[in-house]
Each structure stands twice: as C-alpha cells, then as structure tokens.
C-alpha cells in the first residue's frame, strides 16, 4: 500500500509495544518512519530491521523523555535524517505502581507528568515548524480519562488527561493549516507494560471488561492510528477515539 508514500512519520516510544506496531503499520503503508526510543537501543534496532525486512524505510533516534532538553535532543536527531514531517504520533508513556493517591510520592507524580504530558507538549511545539500543511498529529491517551476511573492509576490518567486537552486545543489552532489533531484512547493492551499481569484470573477478568471478550493487541491500536494519519480522516479533528474494544459501553 502507498497511502503514505513520500511522507515522513515520527512515532515516540516506537521500540516496542503499541509504538512498534504503529511504526510498522505506517511503514507498511509507505511512510518513512523515525523510530524514537529512550533507552532500549536494541529494541529500536529490531523495530527498524523488521520494517526494512518488510520493504519499508525507517531510522532510529534516541532521546530520554522526561529530562531537560528532551524535545530539543529528539528533533536534533530527527533533523539529521529528514527535512520535514508529515505525521507525529505521541505514543511514549510510563505507568506508576500506585495502590491509590495516598501512596503517590511527589517524585513519582512529577516523573509521570514529565514523560506523559510535558514531553509531548514540547515535542509537539517544536514539531510545528517542521510539520507540513495537511499533516497529522495523533496522541495516544487512555480510556481512563473518560468514564472508567481506576484509583490505582490516578496519576497516569491525570497525565493523559493533559494530553487530551492538548488535542482539542491544537485541533482548533492548527485547522487553518489543514493539520488534524486527534486522540486514540486504548483500553488494556497486551504489551510488556503489563508483563506478568495478563495471566490466569486477571486475564479472564480483564478480557470480560470488553464485550469482545478479549484484551486488545498493539495492532488493534495501530490500525486506528493509521486511519487518523491518512487522508481518509481529513474531516476528523479534535476527536477522542475510544479504542478499548467497547469497555466503556
């Protein structure tokens, strides 16, 4: 497929999980993909290798998010490989282990906001001079920001809520440039973020939350992102798209 032929995409946190699936799907449809990673260089190389083996084009770039100068380092690395951008996917994120608000430390809270909210804000800010008119921004949020409150994930959901606001505000600001900005909000996805948890009774319970009777896969999310990154979604902007397999029904 040549949906994205001639286009360049950047996917943050693309060395594994949902980000890897998004990078592979965009590359499969013709995009040249910048595979961002924070620490795991080998995993990023594996993502690039998988894309190239399938006939696509990709390059890896490193920037540890949540640290001073993270966005600047990311774009400096990007500029060494490309001269413009068409698709930005803010996917990178972290979870906290927190039974509830009473167990959240200030350090944990500030760290999760630094990675999940501050980093994509400034990555997006610095992307705008590089993003071509008619471009696409897709932010990966969570179903937990709307109608599915879970006390053990309070700081995570709050940080993603900030990303939801970024979507709606930028959608209005960037519309004159025909740039769309949308949010994809997954439910439970079978990635290494949940390693060791999606087994036995826990897996059965989490699967039962969706009327589909299963947890999601990274590809379930990647296919939705590909639609929002394509010209088919040109009349969709500022939208929060539930990709939880009906968990919020």
Strand partners, 243: 186
* Options 24, 156, 188, 209, the catalytic residue: 156
Query: How many other β-carbons are positioned within 10 Å of the β-carbon of residue 129?
Result: 9
φ, ψ of residue 43 in degrees (nearest 5):
-65, -40
3-state secondary structure of 94: coil
Q: Are 61 and 36 in contact (CB under 8 A)?
A: yes
**Token pair listed for 126:** 């610095």
Q: Exposed/middle/buried for 216, CB within 10 Å: 0-12, 13-18, 19+?
A: buried
φ, ψ of residue 234 in degrees (nearest 5):
-60, -20
Active site residue 156: yes
Distances (CA, A) of 1 to 29, 31, 59, 145, 165: 5, 10, 20, 34, 33
Query: How many other β-carbons are positioned within 10 Å of the β-carbon of residue 224?
Result: 21
DSSP class per residue in 3-45? TTTT-EEEETTTTSHHHHHHHHHHHHTT-EEEEEESS-HHHHH
List residues with catalytic annotation. Answer: 156
């Amino acid at each position: 497929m040549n949906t994205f032929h001639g286009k360049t995409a950047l996917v943050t946190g693309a060395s594994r999980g949902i980000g890897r699936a998004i990078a592979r799907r965009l590359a499969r449809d013709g995009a040249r993909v910048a595979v961002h990673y924070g620490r795991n260089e080998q995993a990023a190389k594996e993502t690039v290798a998988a894309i190239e083996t399938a006939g696509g084009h990709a390059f890896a770039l490193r920037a540890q998010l949540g640290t001073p100068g993270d966005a600047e380092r990311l774009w400096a690395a990007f500029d060494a490989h490309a001269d413009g951008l068409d698709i930005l996917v803010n996917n990178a994120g972290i979870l906290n282990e927190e039974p509830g608000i009473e167990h959240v430390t200030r350090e944990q809270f500030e760290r999760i906001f630094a990675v999940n909210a501050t980093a994509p804000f400034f990555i997006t800010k610095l992307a705008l001079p590089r993003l071509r008119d008619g471009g696409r921004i897709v932010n990966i949020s969570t179903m937990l920001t709307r109608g599915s409150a879970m006390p053990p994930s309070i700081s995570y959901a709050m940080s993603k809520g900030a990303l939801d606001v970024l979507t709606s505000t930028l959608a209005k600001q960037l519309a004159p440039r025909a740039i769309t900005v949308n949010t994809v909000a997954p439910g439970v996805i079978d990635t290494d973020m949940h390693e060791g948890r999606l087994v036995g009774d826990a897996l059965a319970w989490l699967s039962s939350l969706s009327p589909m009777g299963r947890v999601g896969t990274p590809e379930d999310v990647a296919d939705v992102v590909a639609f929002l990154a394509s010209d088919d979604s040109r009349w969709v902007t500022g939208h929060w798209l539930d990709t939880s397999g009906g968990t919020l029904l």
